[in-house]
Each structure stands twice: as structure tokens, then as C-alpha cells.
Amino acid sequence: MTADFFLSLAQAISKGLLTGMVYGLMALGLSVIFGVMRVVNFAHGEIMVVGMYLAWMGFEYLQVSPMLSLPVIAAMFFVAGYALQRTVISPFIGRPEHQQFLLLLAIAILLVNACLAIAGPDARGVQMDSQFESYELGPFVFDAVRVHAAVTAVVIAGLLWLFFTRTRTGKSIRAAADNNLGALVVGLDVRQLYAFTFGVGAACVGAAGALMITIIPVTPFLAAEYTLLAFVIVIVGGLGSMTGALAGGLLIGVSEAVAGLLLQPSLKSMVSFGILILVLLLRPQGLFGKSGT
Amino acid sequence: MSLLARLTDGVPARSLWGLGLLLVLLLVAPALLGKYGLSVLILVLYFAYVGQAWNIMMGFAGQLSLGHALYAGVGGYIAAGLFFHYGIGPWAGVFVAVLAASVAGSIVGYLGFRFSLAGVYFALLTIAFSEFTRIAFDHWGWVGGSGGLFLKVDATVDIPNLRGGPLLFYYVILALAVGAFVVCRVLLESRLGRYWLAIREDPEAAQAVGVPVLRCKMIAVVISAAMTSLAGVWNAFYYNNLFPETAFAMGRSIEFTLAPIIGGLGTLFGPIVGAVVLTGLGEIFTDLSELFHVSGLKQIFYGLALLVIVMYRPAGVWPWLAERLGFAEKRR
């Protein structure tokens, strides 16, 4: 009995960790956009859901596996994010929060209802052979799709880290995030960098969407839930911190899976919101955030 | 000075005449409008009323709440639950509802303000509490859980129990909207109102010159929550059903914020103008999208309209309109 219980608990935790990696990648996009531009992307979950739908369409109509369409979707989202920032969002940088909120809310409404108009309200999922495969490690069983998704998410996060620490553009973006005025003074094209950042953030969340569709089917109504989830993760980990976003994703992924096992599945987000409230009150800069920001 | 004289102090005569005419028109409106027109006007007044309530917190005191559905939901559920289980009419139940919502507001407010959460962080705290309550109500049998709470639909007018047709609910929400307008005017002209504006513009400077910042913010959240809970009670008895999924939905909280933001944050007429614009657009888009049979089309139009408004009138419609019409009110 107890041995069984611990096994299923360990199983739930490992499942939560694997899903949490994808959550982390999604939250990374939000964190990058906020950390650099101080714009709160209220359309984040909606962008994610668009990514899920694109991956589903690629599978349904072109028979391309979501893993293969992922780079294409990420590239498309980069371009779309870049363009969106240059045209619509750019004037709102530095404006009061409620105006940014309304702008992104309008974008969110447009995106999610475009999905609804095109794909309808029914849940859309992909059926792949790998969904029936699993890896066994001692007594543990891991779903193959979750492992693939988690590994891919980690690889993308690693690439992102390399981009921000090793490339000139990445370093310039960090400079603009740390000190906007200083970046302008030394002659960086901050507007360009902002657009680039939004593109990178959108590409992250688009990639996360392509991974997520292999785990669960998509409906338009998931969008708002994902926006909230991304916020919870990013606040818990620390807004603007890359490690924080990933660690927050793991924490929330595990807490959801464990709450689903110990309590009822419908109570799982209650635990996440509980964690959010505790973090907001006790450590508002987040678990990995720098204090005083 | 008498209250009336104080309220109208400094308001130009033609504005007063305009307001008086508007009030008379609203009072006789049910005789002029059909069933459909009345239902639209009811929606306008409802959003104008909750907009005023939300505006106190955000427009006056500068605290962004995206969880006001919590107060409307708690208020509505308590009044409806008391009526459903014990037959206690809403006129008595509303006191419990207001009390409960005020307590909820002071908990959220105290935690947020005491731990000095501002902006997005405070907004997320309000969302978290609202979502938390939604899930709790989903599992609470007394309020019907996720299956919902239903009041018996009864069109015979029974004013003590707030039962009746749209006409009754029209006059109740009209009274609430007019009351909220007057209350907001009184608050804005009071010392407290000035304190709020000071806090909104610069909390640290306000603190430095001796404004009791925490107390003023607390008063704002409690007044706002109490007023919002009245809207929740009205809503519960008007629609006769309550589900945690909709009563505490983030979408509902967002709905409450739209009229004041679109109309003009921190202005007295902003929530009213915003409610007219949004409800009007909503009705037009419903008709328009019926021509095409595409699901989600109405919301696409709505999203486009919001996008255009926020891009071209970021400070809201009313400040711009007021200038065109030659009225003085600007965002304070």
C-alpha cells in the first residue's frame, strides 16, 4: 500500500517535472518580454494556443509531426512577434499599465476568436505513434511524448541562454533591459532590440505550443488558463529571471501533478494560486528574482 | 452649505440642465422603449454602475484590480443563498452580502497594500484570490457547487423579495447607477478623494506629506468592493442563476474594467460613456455577426473595436468627447 503510494507519487512528480519543462518554456517567453520591455503580455496564453493550433493543422492537413513543424512555427512566431511589436505595441512601451493591459487584451480576444472561427470549439489533438510508447527506468514509466517534449524544451531554453550570453544581439538586449537610457547613449537601436525581443518571446511560446499539443488537445478556452498559468509561473520564479521561469515551471508542473493525485484534479489550480499568493506576500520578487526590483 | 449646493458647486448651469434632462429621460425610458431596448438599457446601467465602483479603486486611488468578480460573486451568492435556503429576502440579505464583500475586499487589500504590492503584482494578487474563491465555490455544496444555484423564475412583482420583470430591475439598477454617480462626485470632492488622487499620482510623495496611504487605500478597496457586491446581488436576482465558472470568472472581472478604461479612467462620466459605447458596440456586432454564421465573429469585431479605441483614444472616449462638446471634465 505505502510502497504503491510512493511509487505513484514519484510517478506523478516525474510527470509533473516533464510537463513543467514545457510550462517553463512557455513562461520563459513571458519573462523575456517583461524583463526587457516592462510590457505585461496579457495575450501570452492566446499566442500559445495559436501555436498549438498551427501544430495541429500541420499534423492534420500536411501530416507533419509537431516536433518537425516546431522550428517553422517558432520562425513564423518570431516574424509575427517582431512585426506586432514594431506596429502595435511599440507606442505603448512606458505607458500606464492599464493601457497596455487593454491593448493586449484586445489582441488576445482577436487571436482566440480567430482560432474559434477557424477551428471551432471542439478539442483538437494529434494522434501519434509515440503517444503509446513509454520509457521504463526501474519501476518508473515515462510517457515518450512527455520526455521528447521536455528534452526539446530544455534544448530550446539552452539555445536561448546561449543567445543571451554569447551573441552580440543577445548581450545588447540585456543591456537595454538593464539600462534603457544607457543603451540609447552607447548607440544601440533599442526599438529594434525590443522588436527582436518580442519576436524571441513569441518564438518561445510558439515552440511551447507545438510541444504542448503532443501532450494535450487544444481548445480556444485553454488560452485564458495558459495566460494565467504563465503569470503564476513567472511571478513564482521571479519576473524577468530566466532560471526563475524554468524553475517556476517545474514547481507548478509538479504541484499540479501532485495535487491531481492527492486531491481532486479540479483542485489542482487552487494549489498553484495558493503558491502564487504565498510568493507574492512573502517574496514578491519571486524565488529567483533579484530583490529591490 | 447644503449637500445639494455642495454637489453642484462649480458645475456650469448647462451641465446641470443636461444632467437633469438625462435623468428625466432615463426615468420615462421604459415607456418609450420596447422590451429589447429596455434590456439593452439595463445592461448599460449595470456596466456603468460596476464601472463606477471599479473606477473608485483604479481611477481614483490608482490600484489595479483584475479580480472584482470576487466581490460581485460573493455578494450575489450570499444574497441568493440566503433567499434560496432560508427565504430571507435580498433587502435584508444585501447587508450580509455587502459585509462579506467588504471583508473579502479588506483581506485582499490589506495583504496587497501591507506587503506593498503595486501595479501588475497587485493585479495578480486580486486575480489569484478570485480564482481561489471560484474553485472553492465549485466544491461547496451550500451554494450548489459547480452545478450552480438557481432561483425560481417568477415574473409576478414582489418587491420585498426583489422578484419581478425587467421593469423592476431597470429601476433598481437606475437607482444604483444614479446613487453611485452621486457618491463618486461626493468622494472626489472630499478630502479623502484628494488623498486618493495624491496616492495615485505618487504614493511616496503622498506618504511624505502625511497622507495616511494605507488607510486611504483600504477605504477605497472596501467602498469599491461593497458597491460591486450590490451589483452582484442585483445580477443574481435578475438572471436567477449563479455558477462559480461565470460568477468568479476572470472574464467577468475584465468586463468590469472595460467601461471605465474605454470611457476615461478617473472621470465621473467615463464609466457611463464607456458602458454606452461598449454595450452599443456589442449589440451592433451581435446583429452584424448573425449575417455571417461564423462562431467568434462578434468577439473579433469587439476585439478590433477595443484595439482601435485604445490605440487612438488611450485616455478614453469621454475626455475627448467632453472637449468636443465643450464640457470641462478632464481626468483629474
Decide if pLDDT at A16 tops 60: yes
Chains A, B: CB contacts within 8 A come to 116
Residues recorded for chain B: 332
pLDDT band at A110 (very low <50, low <70, confident <90, very high): very high
Decide if pLDDT at A32 tops 70: yes
What is the percent of chain B with per-residue pLDDT over 70, rounded to a whole number? 97
Is residue B77 in some structural domain?
yes
pLDDT band at A136 (very low <50, low <70, confident <90, very high): confident
Is residue B53 in some structural domain?
yes
Please give the angle made by the CA atoms of B139, B143 and B146, to the nearest 5 degrees.
Answer: 45
Decide if pLDDT at B9 tops 50: yes
What is the percent of chain A with per-residue pLDDT over 90, rounded to a whole number? 43
Report the C-alpha gap between B61 and B193 in whole angstroms: 8
pLDDT digits (tens, 9 = 90+) for A217-269: 999 988 988 998 999 999 898 877 888 899 999 999 999 888 888 887 778 88
**Chain B residues within an 8 Å CB radius of A240:** none
Is residue B8 in some structural domain?
no
User: Interface of chain A against chain B, CB under 8 Å?
Assistant: 40, 88, 91-92, 95, 97-99, 101-103, 105-110, 112-117, 120-121, 220, 224, 228, 231-232, 235, 264, 266-267, 269-270, 273-274, 276-277, 280-281, 284
| Spatial CA neighbour of B115 closest among A285, A51, A29, A28 | A285
Q: What are phi and psi of B116, to 5 degrees?
A: 35, 60
Mean pLDDT of B40-49: 96
Q: What is the pLDDT of residue A292?
A: 45
Decide if pLDDT at B48 tops 80: yes
CB of A238 closer than 8 Å to CB of A244: yes
Report the C-alpha gap between A213 and A124 in whole angstroms: 9
Report the C-alpha gap between A154 and B84 in whole angstroms: 53
CB of B213 closer than 8 Å to CB of B199: yes
Report the C-alpha gap between B205 and B226 in whole angstroms: 29
The total of structural domains in chain B comes to: 1
In sequence order, the 6+-apart residues with CB closer than 8 A to the CB of A227 are A42, A43, A44, A45, A46, A108
Binary contact (B119, A101; C-beta < 8 A):
no
Place of cell 439593452: B40
Is residue B206 in some structural domain?
yes
CB of B292 closer than 8 Å to CB of B300: no
**Chain A residues within an 8 Å CB radius of B304:** 106, 110
Decide if pLDDT at B326 tops 80: no
Mean pLDDT of B282-291: 86
Residues recorded for chain A: 293
pLDDT band at B162 (very low <50, low <70, confident <90, very high): confident
Instruction: Indicate the DSSP class of residue B33.
Output: S
What ipTM was estimated for this complex?
0.85
Q: Where are the beta strands (DSSP E) in chain B?
A: 149-150, 241-242
Return the exposure string of A16-55: e unless at least 16 CB atoms fall within 10 Å of the residue's CB, then b: bbbbbbbbbbbbbbbbbbbbbbbbbbbbbbbbbbbbbbbb
Mean pLDDT of B303-325: 89
Decide if pLDDT at B312 tops 50: yes
Range of the domain at B96: 38-145+157-249
In sequence order, the 6+-apart residues with CB closer than 8 A to the CB of B32 are none
Decide if pLDDT at B199 tops 80: yes
Q: What is the pTM of this model?
A: 0.89
Mean pLDDT of B292-298: 81
Mean pLDDT of A86-96: 89
Q: What is the pLDDT of residue B242?
A: 92
**Chain B residues within an 8 Å CB radius of A108:** 303
Mean pLDDT of B310-327: 86
pLDDT band at A58 (very low <50, low <70, confident <90, very high): very high
By Cβ distance, the residue of A99, A274, A281 closest to B310 is A99
Bridge partners, A136 (sequence order): A141
Decide if pLDDT at B70 tops 60: yes
In sequence order, the 6+-apart residues with CB closer than 8 A to the CB of B110 are B218
Q: Is B146 helix (H, G, I), strand (E, B) or coil?
A: helix
Is residue B18 in some structural domain?
no
Decide if pLDDT at B4 tops 50: yes
Is residue B330 in some structural domain?
no
Q: What is the pLDDT of residue A1?
A: 57
Q: What is the pLDDT of residue A62?
A: 92
By Cβ distance, the residue of B258, B262, B303 closest to A110 is B303
Q: What is the pLDDT of residue B106?
A: 95
What is the percent of chain B with per-residue pLDDT over 90, rounded to a whole number? 57
Q: What is the pLDDT of residue A293?
A: 41
Is residue B327 in some structural domain?
no
Q: What is the pLDDT of residue B17?
A: 87
Centroid of chain to Cα A221:
17
Q: What is the pLDDT of residue B332?
A: 56
Please give the angle made by the CA atoms of B125, B126 and B132, to the nearest 5 degrees.
Answer: 85
Decide if pLDDT at B144 tops 90: no
